[in-house]
Amino acid sequence: MSSGKFTFAPESTPLAGFTIKRGIQRGGFGEVYYAISDGGKEVALKLLHSHVEIERRGTEQCLNLKHPNLVSIIDIKEDDDGDTWVVMEYVSGQTLDQVLSENYPNGMPVDEVRSWLDGLASGVDYLHDRGIVHRDLKPQNLYRESGYVKIGDIGLSKIITPSQRGAQTESIGTIHYMAPEISRGEYGPEIDVYSSATIVYELLTGHVPFEGETAAEIINRHLTDQPDLSPLPRNLRPVLDHALAKDPAARTQSLGAFLTEFDDALAGRTPHSPINPPQPQPTPEATSVPVAQATEAVLQAPGSVVVVGSSHSRPGQAPIRRPRVFFPEDHHGPLAPRNISFSQRALEATAGMAAAILFTGLLASAGHLTGMFGDSQQSAPLTAVAFGLTTLLGAWALLVGTKAWEGTGRESLSIRRLSLLLLGGGVGAAGWWLHQVLLVNLPPLAESQTAGLVDSIGSLELVRNQQPTLAGYVMFFALLFGIRRWWWHTDGFRPKRLRVLSLLLTVTVSWILGLVLQFPLAAATGWGLGIAIVVQLSAPWVAPAHRRARLQQEGARHA
């Protein structure tokens, strides 16, 4: 699922004979639409955007495949503009990804896993029997409709021939399911076995075997780490160990064999073939170079597309050209591109703002009760209210400012910072006004703040009579909002609801700003901490286990 608008609006007819009803998916290689033919048949139309010839060749090879577990490709057509369209069977059922997220976030029952594996093995073996490797098996590409498991996106499949195996091709894969040998340019049918075993592992446990914070870390783990089999049922561990072997030669050789081993293990039978052959240690040329290259590539290209690979040959083989592999950098983090509708943004922003009222009230009350605002009966309540209202305004500004750009990826980072900077200035002005209206003074400057630091910018005084001026307030809040990456506090896909490290970092930044701008340190750190706590507690948060489902929903709503 990717962000961005679709080329064609509903009810448009770019391809003769079909009326587009809605967009379904948009990826690096095209757009998929749900459409109705003039005769009334529901179809999925895939518009090829890039690498059209490669895509077209791959699709043509699959054009006449017929199997109940494969999403059928009906035809390939060109429109009046010369664009290529693939007409496919439309599958309306849920993807395995959705089923897992919504119904089994902690893993499926073994019987259910077995039924998915059955359809998967049947469809993939059918492809392999015809010399085709799917290359992109993942839960998002598996559907169930009318009881049948359907394997989709076979347009990426490639013919296995000696000349083409490992030849220059392009693949868009998901690194969580990617076999280690792909980094060496090997695209044998074993990679589908590895991906399927990874899927089965995820179905049984609710998580993939190799997780990591970055693409580089996940690649590293695929290449070097042994999967942790302890969460699996004891009898299935050898089966998964066999299918997840690093060396394709040592791996289970087909999905059919994998299914048989799976069934044998469940029935407590002795396997027909040894399933635990000694695992050869990864050779230097098989691991170290790709790890280094992959890691380097990820570090050098922080965007959403990472290019891995260069010429590399195995002993005894002619040099092969490594395919380029595109890795989405961050699927489920604060910078993940998402299709969030206007109403959904408004809903989440107002939810956060409403919750912020509660949390700010609690924070200010706690501060008042603990004597943080002094013990004067006249001034302490006013100070508490002025602090609380400024905190609330700051939290609201951040919630609205970050929610407006949520899901827009890295492209909007500059405009995010600029908008937050401006909003911070507004909050500063409002905070100054509140303190003037409520007759509240901030605590006096600390002794360490009186010498050698900025107290004016040009003719603009930041401090007067030990109190920040309007310019002082505006500068402090503008910089606090502009410097910190507040979307890590408020994004629905942030790592945790409340991150103590972020709070500490925000307090540190506030303290430094207080020192630089001669803003009273107690007030500076108090606001930094208070606003950070309130926005993190208030901003809606999607648990990692539910993020895939959320992305699917957003994609469907967007379409």
Partner 1 sequence: MPSLLGIATGLGAAGSVEHVATWVISLLVLAAAIAIRVAWAGRRGNSDLRTLLRATVPAAWFVPAVAIVIAVATQASPSLGPRQAPTILSQPNSPNALPSITGHSWTSQSLVEQDDSGRTLVLTPIASKPHATAKEARQEALQLAAMRLKYEVERVYGHAGDWELSGDSLDQQKFITNEITTTRPYKLSSLAPSSEMYHCVVRLEVSDASRNWASGYWKQSVGAGRLKTIGTITGLLCLLIVTAHLYLRLDIASHGTHRGKLQLAAVAAVAAAGLVASTLLSA
Q: Are 209 and 152 in contact (CB under 8 A)?
A: no
Residue 378 CB, shortest distance to partner 1, in Å, is: 4
161-166 CB contacts, 8 Å cutoff, 24+ apart: 161/131, 166/320, 166/323
Q: Considering the rule CB under 8 A, would residue 353 count as an interface residue with partner 1?
A: yes
Cβ-based nearer residue to partner 1, 46 or 558? 558
CA angle 121, 122, 126 (to 5 degrees): 110
Binder among 5, 269, 272, 497 for partner 1 (CB under 8 A): 5
Can you tell me which of 94, 95, 141, 344 binds partner 1, judged by CB under 8 A? 344
Among 292, 346, 418, 446, binds partner 1 (CB under 8 A): 346
Closest to partner 1 by CB, 354 vs 457, is 354
**Closer residue to partner 1 in complex, CB, 389/512:** 389
In whole angstroms, how close is the CB of 457 to partner 1 at the nearest point?
A: 19
**What is the gyration radius of the CA atoms in the chain, in angstroms?**
28
Cα separation, 323 vs 301, in Å, equals 17
Stretch touching partner 1 by CB under 8 A, among 48-56, 254-262, 271-279, 428-436: 428-436
Rounded to the nearest whole angstrom, what is the least distance from the CB of residue 264 to partner 1 in the complex?
Answer: 49
Long-range pairs for 11-16: beta carbons < 8 A, 24 or more residues apart: 14/47, 14/79, 14/81, 14/83, 15/45, 15/77, 15/79, 15/85, 16/79, 16/80
13 is a site residue for partner 1 (CB under 8 A): no
The smaller minimum CB distance to partner 1, of residues 464 and 496, is found at: 464
Measure the N-to-C terminal CA separation of the chain; round to a whole number of Å. Answer: 11
Instruction: Based on the shown chain and the rule CB under 8 A, indicate whether residue 460 belongs to the binding site for partner 1.
Output: no
Eight-state DSSP code of residue 236? G
The H or E element that residue 536 is part of is helix 521-538
350 binds partner 1 (CB under 8 A): yes
Q: Please, which residue, 228 or 433, has the CB nearer to partner 1?
A: 433
Q: Which of these segments, 82-90, 169-177, 434-442, 473-481, binds partner 1 (CB under 8 A)?
A: 434-442
**Which of residues 297 and 423 has its CB atom nearest to partner 1 in the complex?**
423
Using alpha carbons, list the distances in angstroms from residue 162 to 50, 55, 62, 157, 167.
26, 20, 19, 16, 9
Instruction: Name the minimum Å distance from CB 477 to partner 1.
Output: 17
Q: Residues near 268 by Cβ (< 8 Å), separated by ≥ 6? A: 235
Rounded Cα distance between 136 and 138, Å, is: 6
Nearest approach, Cβ of residue 408 and partner 1 (Å):
10
281, burial (CB in 10 Å: exposed 0-12, middle 13-18, buried 19+): exposed
Nearer to partner 1, 339 or 518 (CB): 339
* In the complex, least distance from residue 114 CB atom to partner 1, rounded to whole angstroms: 37
For 390-419, b/e burial (b = at least 16 CB within 10 A) is bbbbbbbbbbbbbbbbbbbbeebeeebbeb
Q: Using CB under 8 A, which of 36, 65, 389, 522 touches partner 1?
A: 389
**Only segment of 25-33, 173-181, 299-307, 341-349 that touches partner 1 (CB under 8 A):** 341-349
Residues 499-558 that bind partner 1 (CB under 8 A): 558
What H or E segment, with its residue span, contains residue 33? strand 30-37
CB of 492 to partner 1, least distance (A): 15
433 binds partner 1 (CB under 8 A): yes
Contact 216, 300 (CB under 8 A): no
Convert residues 366-385 into a mask of x (bound to partner 1 by CB under 8 A) and - (unbound): ----------xxxx-xx--x
Q: Which of 342, 370, 375, 447 binds partner 1 (CB under 8 A)?
A: 342
Least CB distance from residue 558 to partner 1, whole Å? 8
Angular region, 478: left φ>0, alpha ψ -120 to 50, beta rest: alpha
Rounded to the nearest 5°, which phi and psi values hold at 6? Answer: -85, 155
Q: Which is nearer to partner 1, 198 or 467 (CB)?
A: 467
User: Among residues 76 and 347, whose Cβ is nearest to partner 1?
Assistant: 347
Cβ pair 393, 427 in contact under 8 A: yes
Q: Which of residues 465-484 bind partner 1 (CB under 8 A)?
A: 465
C-beta closer to partner 1: residue 160 or 351 = 351
| Cβ neighbour number for residue 75 with a 10 Å cutoff | 11
Closest among 65, 15, 62, 69 to 43, alpha carbons compared = 15
Interface residues with partner 1 (CB under 8 A)?
5-7, 9, 342-344, 346-347, 350-351, 353-354, 357, 376-379, 381-382, 385, 389, 392, 396, 433-434, 436-439, 441, 464-465, 558
